Amino acid sequence: MEILIQQLFNGLTIGSVYALVALGLTLVYGILHIPNFAHGALYMMGGYVTLTMMTKFGLHYWIAIFVSIIVVGLIGVLMERLVFHPLREAPPIHDKIAAIGILLFLEAFAQKFWGADYQSMPTPYESVVKIFGLTITMQRLLIVIAAIVVMVLLYLFLKKTYTGATIIAMSQNREGANLVGVNTNKVAMLTFMISGGLAAIASSLSAPINLVFPGMGQLVILKAFVIIILGGMGSIPGAIVGGYILGFSESLGATYISNDYKDIIAFILLVIILTVKPTGLFSKGGH
């Protein structure tokens, strides 16, 4: 029983990270209708920037995360301006290839700049707390809480502010949003900024319990794709729920099925979903 609860909490932690990454991905998909294969590279850059800020510049953990959000957000904006904006009328295969090009570049860049070895990130929250008989490290608790705070803030931003509403409007109908005077270029840039920021938060939060290395984004991004297909491409609640579902199934699968094959769970799940329903769960129908 205790193992089960411990594993459920682990699932909650992993799920929070997945949900944050998937949120960024689903926002971009909603706006531009492209699967951003380079999102995992943004996640990786976020981890490295936070790490560098903490070790090289001696900044506090939270300030380092803030810098990381800004830097990765700006990389996202640059990506939109330089790559996806010129390609907006091109056939869909071009966006994907361009995104792969960015992904390859950023990974090689990280390897050149920070080296290929695994690095661990120090955290000020290493203490262990006991809640209801569970031993939990502060960092894991922090991940869960911070993720929820970020999600609530994002929700309020999208629902209660004018700028947030423009993002939703554009994801519903690009031409329509343009007609009623929404500056779609600005909104696209803003979305990439948020998406990059979310990736940076997710990686900075999870880096202390995992490690930082050039390929750290690869598995996460693949799983984020599984999540947004699970939750419906472009759907925000879907990304959150999907993230937690995947987190739980992985941590339970690792304990009760096989630790070696835990990474495969997500992909088997995806293959099954797409085999049964080729347009993804909760698709809006039509072509």
Interacting residues toward another protein by CB under 8 A = 33-35, 37, 83, 86-87, 89-94, 96-98, 100-109, 111-112, 116, 218, 222, 225-226, 229, 233, 260-261, 263-264, 266-268, 270-271, 274-275, 278-280, 287
CB of 254 to another protein, least distance (A): 14
Nearer to another protein, 92 or 122 (CB): 92
Residues in a beta bridge with 136: 129
Nearer to another protein, 32 or 146 (CB): 32
Q: Is 81 left (phi over 0), alpha (psi -120 to 50) or beta?
A: alpha
Nearer to another protein, 40 or 208 (CB): 40
CB of 152 to another protein, least distance (A): 29
Nearer to another protein, 4 or 268 (CB): 268
Work out the burial of residue 128: count CB atoms within 10 Å of its CB; fewer than 13 is exposed, 13-18 middle, 19 or more buried. exposed
CB of 61 to another protein, least distance (A): 30
Collect all residues with Cβ–Cβ distance below 8 Å to 1 and sequence separation of at least 6.
none
Tokens in use for 113? 């700049």
Nearer to another protein, 33 or 136 (CB): 33
CB of 236 to another protein, least distance (A): 18
Collect all residues with Cβ–Cβ distance below 8 Å to 110 and sequence separation of at least 6.
44, 45, 48, 214
CB of 29 to another protein, least distance (A): 8
Nearer to another protein, 109 or 125 (CB): 109
CB of 274 to another protein, least distance (A): 5
Nearer to another protein, 35 or 243 (CB): 35
CB of 30 to another protein, least distance (A): 13
